[in-house]
């Protein structure tokens, strides 16, 4: 548990680059809960990985619960059954909440995902149309992700695509109401940093064409990678775990825009994909994971990536 001084220090780090005075942060945490922005977390067709990643981060969990009023979360809320359903009925009836949406919406296999006795399609229409803002967390919610991978048996759609094709949202409405935070999973700092940015500035952050904040999804992983010097010298690894830049064994850092991995790493700064010597799998890229039946990987110009399907199971196990 962070004390007040540590709390403010952590928040200041997360807000680096935004000119928000510390007094504004303090005033916000001192607001009564009823006056803080209300957040309701909705899980759709997903693995709960984004929730799990976020809930493992104690300090950031404390920050989010002191800055906003989390009224509903399927894994955090004490309420269950009818009591939990009545919270959501209230969210939809009153409207204006920040809905954090995790997972995709299956529009073909309707019963693949339900919320409170309704299909994800039925519930999503009601919940999203009532929202003040929708934060799509993770690659499934932002781009379809693994649930929309080659074959896509359930007809999984990302939340923006669902809103456009099934709720008749215009591009303007999407721009006004939707923020995407891709990643498989979302990084806790991307989520908490974006919420802090929103509630403390009262403005939507500057975003790219996929509605993702430029602050977190502007630079390429490659731009901040510690192995970049080896890339420039053309010193490449020939197998995962070897020394050298991982480009020739399929690293997607050159095409994946994500600031957080090389700069803050994962699991409280313990490690990240490149330092683990496997390379970036492009989990925040719009094409993750294998959207075409015949291609497991994203093509990149004329460069050939290693086709992992040709590895033997022994090599993969290594
Ligand atoms: S390991 Fe990947 S991200 Fe790092 S320099 Fe090589 S290609 Fe770029
Ligand atoms: S380095 Fe690449 S694969 Fe690893 S978490 Fe970051 S975006 Fe995802």
Contact 247, 254 (CB under 8 A): yes
Query: What is the CB neighbour count within 10 angstroms for residue 10?
Result: 16
The structural domains of the chain, ordered by start, are 4-216 (3.40.50.700), 219-318 (4.10.480.10)
Sequence-distant (≥ 6) Cβ neighbours of residue 282 within 8 angstroms: 252, 255, 256, 288, 298
The best mutation among 219, 220, 221, 301 to test binding of ligand 1, ranked by most ligand atoms within 8 Å of the C-beta, falls on 221
For residue range 265-291, what is the model confidence (pLDDT) as tens digits?
998 889 999 999 989 999 999 888 766
Residue 67 Cβ inside 6 Å of ligand 2? The answer reads no
For residue range 79-91, what is the model confidence (pLDDT) as tens digits?
999 999 999 999 9
Q: How far is the CA of 290 from the centre of ligand 1 (A)?
A: 21
Residue 265 Cβ inside 6 Å of ligand 2? The answer reads no
Percent of the chain with pLDDT over 90: 66
pLDDT (0 to 100) of residue 292: 58
Residue 281 Cβ inside 6 Å of ligand 2? The answer reads yes
Q: How far is the CA of 267 from the centre of ligand 1 (A)?
A: 21
Residue 8, pLDDT > 60, answer yes
Dist. CA 246–CA 252, nearest whole Å: 9
Contact 274, 262 (CB under 8 A): yes
Residue 237 Cβ inside 6 Å of ligand 1? The answer reads no
What is the token pair recorded at 250?
Answer: 């399929």
The pLDDT of 102-122, averaged and rounded, is 96
Omega into 185 within 30° of 0, i.e. cis?
Answer: yes
Contact 254, 279 (CB under 8 A): no
Query: What is the CB neighbour count within 10 angstroms for residue 233?
Result: 10
- The protein residue whose alpha carbon is closest to atom 8 in ligand 1 is 222
Residue 88 Cβ inside 6 Å of ligand 1? The answer reads no
3-class SS of residue 243: coil
For residue range 123-157, what is the model confidence (pLDDT) as tens digits?
999 999 999 999 999 999 999 999 998 889 999 99
Residue 27, pLDDT > 60, answer yes
Q: How far is the CA of 20 from the centre of ligand 1 (A)?
A: 34
Distance of CA 148 to the CA centre of its chain: 16
State the pLDDT confidence band at 298, using cuts at 50, 70 and 90. very low
- The protein residue whose alpha carbon is closest to atom 5 in ligand 1 is 228
Burial 271-286 (b: 16+ CB within 10 A, else e): ebbbeebbbbbbbbbb
Residue 222 Cβ inside 6 Å of ligand 1? The answer reads yes
Residue 256 Cβ inside 6 Å of ligand 2? The answer reads yes
State the pLDDT confidence band at 14, using cuts at 50, 70 and 90. confident
Dist. CA 125–CA 302, nearest whole Å: 42
Q: How far is the CA of 284 from the centre of ligand 2 (A)?
A: 7
Q: Are strands 118-119 and 114-115 parallel, antiparallel or unpaired?
A: antiparallel
Check residues 208 and 14 and name the one with the higher pLDDT. 208
Atom of ligand 2 at shortest distance to CA of 261? 6
Query: What is the CB neighbour count within 10 angstroms for residue 216?
Result: 25
Contact 183, 215 (CB under 8 A): no
Ligand having the closest approach to the CA of 256: 2
Dist. CA 256–CA 104, nearest whole Å: 21
- The protein residue whose alpha carbon is closest to atom 2 in ligand 2 is 280
Ligand having the closest approach to the CA of 227: 1
Ligand having the closest approach to the CA of 220: 1
What DSSP character marks residue 65? H
Residue 279 Cβ inside 6 Å of ligand 1? The answer reads yes
Dist. CA 43–CA 115, nearest whole Å: 8
For residue range 214-260, what is the model confidence (pLDDT) as tens digits?
999 999 999 999 999 999 999 999 988 889 999 988 899 999 999 99
Residue 305, pLDDT > 50, answer no
Helix extents (H) in the chain: 4-14, 22-29, 49-55, 58-67, 81-94, 120-130, 138-143, 159-166, 171-177, 188-201, 214-217, 221-224, 228-232, 260-264, 313-317
How would you class 179 by CB atoms within 10 Å of its CB: exposed for 0-12, middle for 13-18, buried for 19 or more? buried
What is the token pair recorded at 148?
Answer: 């929309």
Contact 139, 180 (CB under 8 A): no
pLDDT (0 to 100) of residue 5: 84
Q: How far is the CA of 163 from the centre of ligand 2 (A)?
A: 27
> What is the pLDDT of the chain when averaged over all its residues?
88
pLDDT (0 to 100) of residue 4: 84
For residue range 57-102, what is the model confidence (pLDDT) as tens digits?
878 888 888 889 999 999 988 899 999 999 999 999 999 999 999 9
- The protein residue whose alpha carbon is closest to atom 6 in ligand 1 is 245
Kindly report the pTM of this predicted structure. Answer: 0.90
């Amino acid at each position: 548990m962070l004390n007040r001084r540590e709390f403010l220090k952590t928040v200041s780090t997360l807000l680096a680059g935004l000119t928000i005075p510390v007094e504004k942060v303090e005033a916000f945490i001192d607001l009564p809960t009823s006056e803080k922005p209300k957040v309701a977390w909705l899980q759709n067709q997903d693995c709960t990985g984004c929730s799990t990643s976020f809930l493992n981060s104690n300090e950031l969990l404390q920050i989010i619960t002191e800055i906003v009023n989390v009224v509903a979360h399927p894994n955090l809320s004490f309420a269950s059954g009818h009591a939990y359903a009545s919270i959501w009925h209230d969210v939809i009836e009153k409207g204006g909440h920040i809905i954090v949406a995790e997972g995709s919406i299956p529009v073909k296999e309707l019963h693949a995902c339900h919320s409170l006795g309704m299909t994800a399609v039925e519930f999503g229409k009601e919940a999203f149309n009532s929202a003040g803002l929708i934060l799509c967390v993770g690659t499934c919610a932002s781009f379809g992700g693994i649930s929309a991978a080659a074959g896509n048996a359930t007809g999984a759609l990302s939340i923006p695509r669902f809103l456009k094709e099934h709720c008749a949202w215009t591009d303007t409405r999407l721009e006004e109401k939707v923020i995407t935070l891709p990643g498989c999973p979302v990084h806790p700092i991307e989520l908490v940093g974006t919420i802090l940015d929103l509630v403390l500035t009262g403005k939507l952050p500057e975003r790219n064409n996929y509605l993702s904040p430029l602050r977190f999804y502007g630079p390429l992983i490659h731009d901040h990678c510690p192995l970049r010097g080896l890339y420039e010298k053309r010193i490449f690894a020939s197998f995962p775990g070897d020394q050298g830049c991982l480009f020739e064994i399929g690293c997607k850092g050159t095409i994946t825009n994500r600031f957080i991995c090389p700069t803050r790493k994962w699991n409280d700064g313990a490690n990240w994909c490149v330092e683990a010597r496997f390379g970036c799998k492009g989990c925040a890229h719009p094409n993750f994971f294998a959207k075409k039946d015949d291609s497991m990987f994203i093509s990149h110009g004329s460069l050939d990536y290693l086709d992992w399907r040709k590895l033997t199971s022994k090599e993969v196990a290594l």
